[in-house]
């Protein structure tokens, strides 16, 4: 196999890696106070040297192949009113695929995501139901950085808080479906369940466990080492996150995740760090 064919097989159209993991660093689905700006810069490292084939059989990449990626993003959400928030996600990625045949690299901005969240209802201001509509806009023309297709997503979330073993706890259940429009259009279903505990009485230490998955469908069945680049694949992931609040409005989150099952995708491991800073403008 030539280096060109290896590139086409493993790293064609890398896209949206950070958007798979950015929201795991903090609890999504809870209301943002009107006039509050929530800023969440994050960095994610992804590694894979094995893959599941179309029949979910696991094996090493050809020619000692290895895929690594650093992705950086800024997620911002603004509370417009008690019912509506506006969010923006801007990602940048640096991908590297190397094997005995050579090395291929790509980097650049990816898809800009602009979303409107509407809070449908709440139960005693402890449990919240929300619906989010997101527009997906490519920030590039180089197709090695993404599908280069506009798209849209609808996400339903249920979030709440309570107590477990005398400690404050929270949970978030999410399911989002998105469609990329154009040639070889892609349908995706992204789902996630997170449960977390506050470890101390001052609400400074937090530990959470997430179980999530990703399903993508398209007429293009080709394998790709980058889980956000392939157009027909599936995987499930388990993640553990630790959060520390330095103050009421400033927090740090560290997350590690591992793909546990999959089809037509890489066996990925990722670690990320995210800051969350809140600014009240009213």
CATH number reported for the structural domain that contains residue 190 in this entry: 2.40.160.40
In the predicted structure, residue 4 carries a pLDDT above the cut 50: no
In the predicted structure, residue 13 carries a pLDDT above the cut 50: no
In the predicted structure, residue 216 carries a pLDDT above the cut 90: no
Give the residue-averaged pLDDT of 50-61: 90
In the predicted structure, residue 51 carries a pLDDT above the cut 60: yes
Coil, strand or helix at 225: coil
Strand partners, 257: 239, 270
- 240-281 pLDDT, tens digit per residue, is 999 999 998 999 999 999 999 998 888 889 999 999 999 999
Q: Which residues contact 265 (CB under 8 A, 6 or more apart)?
A: 51, 52, 223, 224, 227, 230, 233, 234, 235, 259
The position carrying tokens 């417009």 is: 80
Range name among 37-41, 148-152, 218-222, 272-276 with the lowest pLDDT average? 218-222
Give the residue-averaged pLDDT of 23-36: 74
Q: What is the pLDDT of residue 264?
A: 86
- 88-134 pLDDT, tens digit per residue, is 999 999 989 898 889 988 899 999 999 999 999 999 999 999 999 99
E strand or H helix that includes residue 42: strand 36-48
247, 207 Cβ separation under 8 angstroms: no
d(CA 233, CA 54): 8
Q: What is the pLDDT of residue 122?
A: 94
- Domain containing 190 equals 3-280
Coil, strand or helix at 218: coil
Number of domains in the chain: 1
Give the residue-averaged pLDDT of 55-79: 92
């Amino acid at each position: 196999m030539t280096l060109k064919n290896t590139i086409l097989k493993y790293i064609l159209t890398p896209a949206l890696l950070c958007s798979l993991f950015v929201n795991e660093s903090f609890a999504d689905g809870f209301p943002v106070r009107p006039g509050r700006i929530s800023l969440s810069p994050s960095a994610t490292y992804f590694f894979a040297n094995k893959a599941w084939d179309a029949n979910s059989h696991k094996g090493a990449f050809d020619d000692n192949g290895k895929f690594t990626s650093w992705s950086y993003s800024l997620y911002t959400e603004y509370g417009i009113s008690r019912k509506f928030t506006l969010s923006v996600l801007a990602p940048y990625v640096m991908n590297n695929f190397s094997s005995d045949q050579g090395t291929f690299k790509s980097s650049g901005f990816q898809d800009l995501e602009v979303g409107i969240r509407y809070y449908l209802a709440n139960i005693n201001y402890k449990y919240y139901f929300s619906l989010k509509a997101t527009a997906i806009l490519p920030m590039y023309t180089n197709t090695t950085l993404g599908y280069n297709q506009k798209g849209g997503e609808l996400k339903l979330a249920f979030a709440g808080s309570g107590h477990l073993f005398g400690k404050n706890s929270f949970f978030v259940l999410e399911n989002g479906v998105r469609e990329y429009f154009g040639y070889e259009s892609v349908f995706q279903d992204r789902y996630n369940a997170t449960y977390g505990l506050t470890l101390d009485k001052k609400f400074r230490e937090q530990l959470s466990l997430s179980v999530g998955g990703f399903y993508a469908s398209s007429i293009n069945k080709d394998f790709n080492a980058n889980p956000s680049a392939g157009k027909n694949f599936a995987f499930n992931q388990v993640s553990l996150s630790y959060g520390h609040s330095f103050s009421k409005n400033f927090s740090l989150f560290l997350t590690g995740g591992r793909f546990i099952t999959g089809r037509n995708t890489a066996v990925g491991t990722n670690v990320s760090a995210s800051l969350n800073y809140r600014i009240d403008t009213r």
